[in-house]
Amino acid sequence: MTDPRDRLIVGLDVPDIRTATQVVGELGNTVGYFKIGYQLVFTGGLELARDLVKDGKRVFLDLKLLDIDNTVAKGVESVLAVGASMLTLHAYPKAMRSAVAAARGTDLCLLGVTVLTSMDENDLREAGYGETPAALVARRAEQARAAGMGGLVCAATEATAVRRIVGPDMAVVTPGIRFAGSDQGDQKRVMAPRQALEAGASHLVVGRPIVASGDRREAAEQILADMRRST
């Protein structure tokens, strides 16, 4: 997977289908991978996902599933009908095992969400965890590998450690991609595109730096150019 366009996932974190369609249209063939999360799913995002797949685009459904085993499995089965390439769930061992069983024999890449990039050690402590983000991410990575997951979502700052745990074949998907000096928004653990790839990321998720740009295609091209500089 050497073409950066296969590794850059644009987050369609917008309020409605009209805006999402506009973003996709403006980017054209520059980008062929799109993430659809809660904000868009609740306003027709699943229908858009099906349309994107029909148009030859790849879709990453960022739904972060977590429920009892049967509900997770049935959710995965429903997602398979959409044709998405990637699906997230929280990296709890039982949920991951249920999802893997439901997706067995398909091309759906299941991604375990480790620690959200908007969270730091204080946030984890408030949530009742006694570990640092790095320690919890490492534990979740080991559990995801054991469950047979397709990959993980983690901050780029943890990508090297995760890659060391999961080996060369699992996907390591990193949000929180920002150029130095740019607005980090609510992200707390960030890294530039080239650095993230060199740290071990297989895919980069970029939302606001592209979607909120005055020239979305140019913003995507700048990120792709930086990705091409990775060694």
Q: Mean of the pLDDT values across residues 133-156?
A: 95
**Which of 6, 51, 57, 67 is the catalytic position?**
67
**Once rounded to an integer, what is the mean pLDDT over residues 203-221?**
94
Q: From CA 46, how far away is CA 207, in angstroms rounded?
A: 18
The answer on whether 16 is annotated among ligand-binding residues is no
- The torsion of the CA quartet 97, 101, 107, 111, rounded to 10 degrees, works out to -10
Q: Is 64 marked active-site?
A: yes
Establish whether 186 is a catalytic residue. no
Percent of the chain with pLDDT strictly greater than 70: 94
From the list 62, 94, 120, 188, the catalytic residue is 62
Residue 165: count of CB within 10 angstroms of its CB? 17
Say whether 30 counts as a known binding-site residue: no
> What are the backbone angles phi and psi of residue 145, rounded to the nearest 5°?
-60, -45
183 catalytically annotated: no
Using alpha carbons only, give the angle 47, 90, 187 rounded to the nearest 5 degrees. Answer: 85
- What's the pLDDT score for residue 61? 98
177, 172, 196, 179: which is closest to 187 by C-alpha? 177
pLDDT tens digits, 88-128: 999 999 999 999 999 999 999 999 999 887 888 999 999 99
Domains, the chain, in order of start with CATH, read 4-228 (3.20.20.70)
Q: Is 48 annotated in some ligand binding site?
A: no
> Which pLDDT value is given to residue 187?
46
26 touches 221 (CB < 8 A): no
Q: SS3 letters for the chain?
A: CCCHHHCEEEECCCCCHHHHHHHHHHHHHHCCEEEECHHHHHHHHHHHHHHHHHCCCEEEEEEEECCCHHHHHHHHHHHHHHCCCEEEEECCHHHHHHHHHHHCCCCCEEEEECCCCCCCHHHHHHCCCCCCHHHHHHHHHHHHHHHCCCEEECCHHHHHHHHHHHCCCCEEEECCECCCCCCCCCCCCCECHHHHHHHCCCEEEECHHHHCCCCHHHHHHHHHHHHHCCC
Q: Per residue in 163-173, pLDDT tens?
A: 999 999 999 99
